[in-house]
Amino acid sequence: MSAHIEPLKNKLIQQLSTIYENIILKQSTDEIAETLIDIMRLTDDITPPQPFTNHWSETDIVLITYGDSIIKAGQKPLQTLKGFLDNHLKDTINSVHILPFFPYSSDDGFSVIDYSSVNESLGSWQDITEISQHYQLMSDLVINHCSSRSAWFDNFIKGEGPGHDFFFTAQLDDDLSTVVRPRTSPLLKAVATGKGQKFVWCTFSHDQVDFDFRNPAVLIAFASIIRQYLDSGVKIFRFDAIAFLWKIVGRDCINLPQTHEVVRLLRTLIESADPKAIIITETNVPNTQNLTYFGNANEAHGIYNFSLPPLLINTLLTGNCTHLKRWLMSMPPSQDGTMYFNFIASHDGIGLRPAEGLLSHTELDSLVQTIESFGGKISWRTTDNGEQKAYEMNIALYDALQGTVAGKDQWNFERFICAHAIMFALEGVPGVYIHSMLGTQNDYNKLANTHNNRAINRHRWDEDELETALADSSLHHEKVLTTLKSLLNTRIKQRAFHPNATQFTLHLGLQLFGFWRQSQNRKQSIFCVSNISDKPVALPLSELNLIVTQAWVELISGDQIYGLTQEIMLSPYQTVWISNV
C-alpha cells in the first residue's frame, strides 16, 4: 500500500470507528474503508489535501438557481440557463448553484427519486457537464432523506434488494418528545411492508423518508453518488439538511456528534478525490450551532451564514443597525481553509431560527407582521411544548424591502440595492439568488397553484418575457440587474474583498452600518458604510481615520475623496466603499 493510501485508510478507519461506536457491524471498519477507497477510485497517486488552504478568492460569486428558473419553448431548461449565464453574467458570475436537478416527487427537487439521473424535463448529464466546463458547479447532496417513490424505498417496502435496510424506523411508544424539526406534520409515517407495519422517520414530510446512517451501506451508497457528481464536474457540494442526519431515540436528533464525524469523513473522501472540491453545510439552526460545522477547519469548508438574512432585513426595516452590528462583532473570523457563504435570499424562505437569541420575541413578531403586510407568508413549526412558532418568512426579497415597519414607501429599489451592497462587501463568498439578480417579485399564481408558501419566491420566467423586461428601462428588472452587476464587477477587482480578508466592525451610530476590510497583504483598505435609514445621514470622514498620506476613492461612484475632515452626506440607503488607491 502506498505512502498516501495507507494513512488515508487509517484515517478513514478511525473516523468509521467513531461513527459506528457501539454499533454491531456486518463488516469491519477496515473492510468498509477499503470499499470507500475503491468506490471513490482513490489510487496510489492521490495528492494529499493541504490543510488551511483557501480554494476561493474575491472573484468567486455564486448564482443560486433552479434548473428551470428560466424556460424557453423547444429548448431544455438547462440549455436556456447556460444561454442566460453566457449572455448576461459570464463576466460577473463564475459559479452557479443549480438546485436539485434530479427526478423528484415533491419539495421542488428536495425529495429525490433517483440520485444518479438528471430530470429529463431539465436536460441531461451532458448539459450539466457543459455548464461545469464554463462555471464552477455547485450541487446539492440531499443526504438526510429521499423520496418515498424511490427504488430504494420500494425495496424497503418489499423487504429485499438495494435500499431495503436504508431507512430509519421507530415505534409509536418511543420517547420522541425532544426531537427538533422544522415541520408540524407527524414525525412517523406508518408503512405496510413485507415484514409487517413499520413506522418510518420523516423529518420534513411524509414524502421525504429519512435514511438510517447506522447502516454503513447508506454511507457507501452516498460515496458512489459523490463520485458520480465529481465525474460530472461538481466542485462544490451543498450538504442539504445535514444537521438532522443522525438519529438516536430519546435525543433531540440534531447536530449529534456522529453527524459531525460523517461530515469529516465525507470531507476526507472528497478532498482525496479532488483537493480543490469543497463542502458547504446547509444548517438552518441558531448561529452558535451553525458555527460548529467548521470543526477545527476539518469539517465544512463553508457554512451558510443563516443569521445574515433576517438580521439584515430587520435592520433595513427598522432603520436601526444595533443587532446587525452586535452580531457581526460576535462572529469569529473564518480561519484559512474555511469561509462564510453569505446570502440574503434563496429558494427557501428567510429563516427565523438563526435570529433566535439575537432578536427579541417582540422584535421577531414585528418583523413577521411587517413581512405579512408586504404580502409575504409565514411558515410554522411546533416547539417542544406544542407551541406554534414562526419558522421562516416566505417572500421575494424585492417585496420584503418595499418599506419599513411604518409601511410601504418610495425607497424599495434603493433599500434592495443597499442590502446587496452590504452582503457583497462582507467577509465570505456571496451567493445571489437568480430572482434577486432579476428583481423578481412575489409569484401569487404559483403560490395559489401549489399551496406551498415557498413557491411565492420560486417564479419561473419565460425567456422572451424576461428579455422584454430586461430591455424595458421603465421596469425595475433591468435596473436591478445592471446595478447588481456593477457592484459585483467592482467587488471582484478588490483584494480587500477576499473572503478571508480582515474585517472590523465600525461604530458610527444607529443609522450608519459600517465595517473595514483589509487585504491579506495589507496593501488595500476599504471602508464600507451604508445608510440603513430612510433619511439622509452625514458620514464624518474623520470617524474613519483615513490615512492622510494616501489617496482615497469611493469605488461605487468612482469619485475621488478630498478633504479627509469633511462630511459625506449619504442619501437614504446609499452605500459607499471608500478605498485607498
Tens digit of pLDDT for each residue in 517-553?
999 999 999 999 999 999 999 999 999 988 888 899 9
- Residue 59 belongs to a domain: no
301: Cα separation from own chain's centroid: 13
Cell, residue 328: 457581526
Q: How confident is the model at residue 2 (pLDDT cuts 50, 70, 90)?
A: low
- Tell whether 459 is covered by a domain: no
- Has residue 58 been placed in a domain? no
Three-class secondary structure of residue 560 per DSSP: strand
The verdict on whether residue 107 carries a ligand-binding annotation is: yes
Backbone angle region of 439, left / alpha / beta, with phi > 0 → left and psi within -120 to 50 → alpha: left
Q: How much is the mean pLDDT over the chain?
A: 95
Whether 535 is in a domain gets the answer yes
Could you list the residue range(s) of the whole structural domain that residue 543 is in? 502-580
145 has binding-site annotation: yes
Cβ atoms of residues 492 and 483 within 8 Å: no
CATH code (residue 513): 2.60.40.1180
Question: Is position 508 within any domain?
Answer: yes
d(C-alpha 217, C-alpha 225), whole Å = 12
Residue 560, Cβ density class (10 Å: 0-12 exposed, 13-18 middle, ≥19 buried)? exposed
- Any residues with CB less than 8 A from the CB of 511 and at least 6 apart, and which? 319, 320, 321, 531, 532, 533, 535, 537
137 occurs within a structural domain: no
pLDDT tens-digit series, residues 106-121: 999 999 999 999 999 9
Output phi, psi for 319, to 5 deg: 70, 25
- Over residues 330-356, mean pLDDT: 95
Give 330-334's long-range contacts (Cβ < 8 A, gap of 24+): 332/291, 333/427, 333/500, 333/502, 333/503, 334/294, 334/427, 334/428, 334/499, 334/500
Which region holds residue 374: left if phi is over 0, alpha if psi is between -120 and 50, else beta? alpha
Query: Is 347 a known ligand-binding residue?
Result: yes
Residue 552 in any domain: the answer is: yes
Model confidence over 121-151: pLDDT tens digits? 999 999 999 999 999 999 999 999 999 999 9
Check whether 348 is labelled as a binding-site residue: yes
Which one of 207, 240, 399, 443 is the catalytic residue?
240
Is 240 known to be catalytic? yes
pLDDT tens-digit profile of 450-507?
999 999 999 999 999 999 999 998 899 999 999 999 999 999 999 999 999 999 999 9
For residue 417, being part of any structural domain is answered with no
Residue 239 annotated as part of some ligand binding site: yes
Total domains in the fold of the chain: 1
C-alpha distances out from residue 386 to 79, 177, 285, 382, Å? 47, 10, 19, 6
* Dist CA 399 CA 350 (whole Å): 13
- For residues 371 and 373, what is the distance between their CA atoms, to the nearest angstrom? 5
The answer on whether 477 is annotated among ligand-binding residues is no
- The mean pLDDT of 217-226, rounded to a whole number, is 98
